[in-house]
Amino acid sequence: MAKIVLGIGSSHSPALLMEPPAWRARAATDDRTLFALHDHSGARVQFDDLLAAADRALADEITDEKMQERHEANQRAIAETKRLLSEAAADVVIIIGDDHKEVFKDDNMPALSIFWGEALPYKPQGIMKWKYDPTLKQELWYGQEDIDYPVASDLAHRLIGDLIADGFDPAHQKYMPEGQAMSHSFGYVFRRMMPDIAVPTIPVSINTYYPPNNMPPARAYRLGEAIRRAVETWSEDIRVAILATGGLSHFVVDEEFDRAFIEILRSGSVEDHANLPLEKLQSGNSEFRCWSALAGAVSGMEMELIDYIPCYRSLAGTGCGMTFAVWR
């Protein structure tokens, strides 16, 4: 019988692939970001409004020393997720990620989609191209070569049917159009968590960012439960790892909200996920939904927080609450 042997949650912010000088370069664009900024109440705001209202103590969060300390903590946490995934010796890895209009756009934006082709293509496109030069180190940034990653096609196809039988309606992709490739939520996993692990994956994409059909957190949790039920019906004697990427708070760091959500992940119920304030799940915070799906899939397993690292990059409080956790 198939069994989920490991769950991992990880941020996937491109800042994890940048050294602190590049964080500062990114901060210089926060006032004209493609994604809206929202304050801690969830209200949409301008960068200058955040800056005017910010606690001056944030200056201590963006010193060269503090940013370097947090960069090094990020790298240790990434290395730990890679180690744990390697040691799990999984036969299949299910990856739950979201899209930033890199694959799905307004002509077709599914709430849930599963890729079941033979290979998932990677191309250096969009956010995965070189950005914020000259401060990036090539060995940290996304690979700049085209690669195809193996997919557990038969199992992915089966998962689509299993989810339909369990009350979900996934869209599916068997191939991508010419020139198109995966989103960076998956690219990060292959680049930093699985660079030396040739294990077939099942890519599951949920819409977190874009109304009107972004998945509610309780629905995401129930999806995770349905994925676990499906895996447990597979007759093959295989070890399955399940990963979720994204979050936590960004593009404005909200440590209180992040830490409360981490406790929900540790011991919360589907009702706790249902009660998450939707007005706060805006922009990058929307990716909490990927973690809610993971929480459903690993319910009953014990969570260990690898690290929570609030990575500020400006006096306005912009940045990302980098989070790494494991369930076993």
* Structure confidence by residue, pLDDT tens digits, 98-145: 999 999 999 999 999 999 999 999 999 888 886 665 567 778 889 889
Give backbone dihedrals phi and psi of 136, rounded to 5 degrees, phi first. -85, 140
Q: What is the pLDDT of residue 255?
A: 97
Token pair in block for residue 23: 């964080």
- Helix 255-267 and helix 288-297, axial crossing angle in degrees, nearest 10: 10
Q: In 3-state terms, what secondary structure has residue 297?
A: helix
Average pLDDT over residues 259-272: 95
Residue 232, amino acid: E
Cross-strand pairs, 38: 44
Instruction: Summarize pLDDT for 149-208 with one digit per residue, the tens.
Output: 999 999 999 999 999 999 999 999 999 998 899 999 999 999 999 998 889 999 999 999
| Helix (H) or strand (E) segment spanning residue 224 | helix 217-233
Closest CA to 318 of 253, 239, 228: 253
DSSP E strands, the chain? 3-10, 37-38, 44-45, 92-98, 112-115, 119-122, 147-150, 171-173, 201-206, 239-245, 303-312, 319-327
Please provide the CATH number assigned to the domain covering 3-327: 3.40.830.10
Q: What is the DSSP string of 91-127?
A: SEEEEEEE-SSSS-BTTB--SEEEE-SSEEEE---GG
- CA–CA gap between residue 194 and residue 202 (Å, rounded): 14
Closest CA to 243 of 10, 1, 33, 2: 10
Q: In 3-state terms, what secondary structure has residue 193?
A: helix
Give the confidence band of 303 by pLDDT, cuts at 50, 70, 90: very high
The answer to whether 209 touches 250, Cβ cutoff 8 Å, is no
- CA–CA gap between residue 153 and residue 201 (Å, rounded): 8
Q: In 3-state terms, what secondary structure has residue 223?
A: helix
Q: What is the pLDDT of residue 173?
A: 96
Give the confidence band of 257 by pLDDT, cuts at 50, 70, 90: very high
Instruction: Summarize pLDDT for 191-235 with one digit per residue, the tens.
Output: 999 998 889 999 999 999 999 999 999 999 999 999 999 999 999
- CA–CA gap between residue 248 and residue 140 (Å, rounded): 21
The overall pTM is greater than 0.85: yes
Q: What is the pLDDT of residue 280?
A: 97
Give the confidence band of 29 by pLDDT, cuts at 50, 70, 90: confident
Q: What is the pLDDT of residue 230?
A: 98
- Domain assignments of the chain as residue spans, ordered by start: 3-327
Token pair in block for residue 218: 């309780």
Pairing of strands 171-173, 319-327: unpaired
Give backbone dihedrals phi and psi of 279, rounded to 5 degrees, phi first. -65, -20
Dihedral over Cα of 204, 124, 314, 31: its sign:
negative
Asked if pLDDT for residue 251 goes beyond 90, the answer is yes
Closest CA to 16 of 249, 320, 327: 320
Instruction: Summarize pLDDT for 32-89 with one digit per residue, the tens.
Output: 655 689 999 999 999 889 989 888 889 999 999 999 999 999 999 999 999 999 999 9
From the number of C-beta atoms within 10 Å of its C-beta (0-12, 13-18, 19+), residue 267 rates as exposed
Q: What is the pLDDT of residue 33?
A: 59
Token pair in block for residue 26: 């990114």
- CA–CA gap between residue 215 and residue 278 (Å, rounded): 11
